[in-house]
Amino acid sequence: MLNKLLSRKTLLGIFIAVLAVNQVALVSVSHAMGTGILHLQWMNNVLGVKEASAMEIMMPILNDDGVTTHLQMIPTITEVLGETGSSDTVADAMRVMIATGKPFYAPEGINFNDAVVALEKWGTYKELSLTDEQMERYNRLIETFTCNFCCGDAALVTRNGRCGCAHAKGARGFFKYMIQNYGDTYSDDQLFGEAYRWQAIWYPSGVIEDYLLGTGRGFVLEHNSHGGAGEDGMHGIK
């Protein structure tokens, strides 16, 4: 019996060693081919590790030069899911960056599952009237919140208040509504982060490319240059 047990342990040890060697080889090949299979992700799968959810999101923030942006974690109002650690890097990135369902603060008929309707309805709230103090805050937000994916170029990002696209109008409606109804509850940073959650469902490709770049996996998808990303299109990341 003891010999059988030792034999099983020996075989298990050999199996684990072979699996580890194969995985190292697989990771080396995947990096060379750009498939995005990461050693850490494999470990997460095997060990059952799952990245924790958080109340923050990665997004472009205006630099001091006023024309380029850098990627930064910014607090949100709703929970941002963590990665599952699967071998599908893009699917994990989508889980983090693309929100679903109806957030508690959203007016009737607006939810993350219908990007087109949400865009149209948020845009109607840009006509809301605010107090002078609220307008001062609103103007501050739209002059620093950027429109990254629809206009401008790599060295000249367009600020939300100066953009005429529907997505910019949707963001302005969001800011007005939130300031009027939740202005005493949430900070400017939280409004920024939450507004970007809506931008993510309107520009999913761009936000996922930025997220992968900012988490050191820019090779998984080609990172296309966009407004404010810098002359090299990489937000200053080397």
Q: For 36-95, how does the pLDDT look when each residue is reduced to its tens digit (9 = 90+)?
A: 333 334 333 332 223 689 999 999 999 999 999 999 999 999 999 999 999 999 999 999
Output the pLDDT for position 11: 36
Name the strand (E) or helix (H) holding 61. Answer: strand 54-62
Longest dimension (CA), the chain: 83
Higher pLDDT: 41 or 144? It is 144
Average pLDDT, the chain: 83
Give the DSSP letter string of 149-213: SSSSBTTBPEEGGG--SHHHHHHHHHHHHHHHHHTTTS-HHHHHHHHHHHHHHHSHHHHHHHHHH
Domain ranges for the chain: 2-47, 54-214
Residue 49's pLDDT is 23
Distance between CA 209 and CA 83 in Å, rounded?
A: 15
Strand, helix or coil at 136? Answer: helix
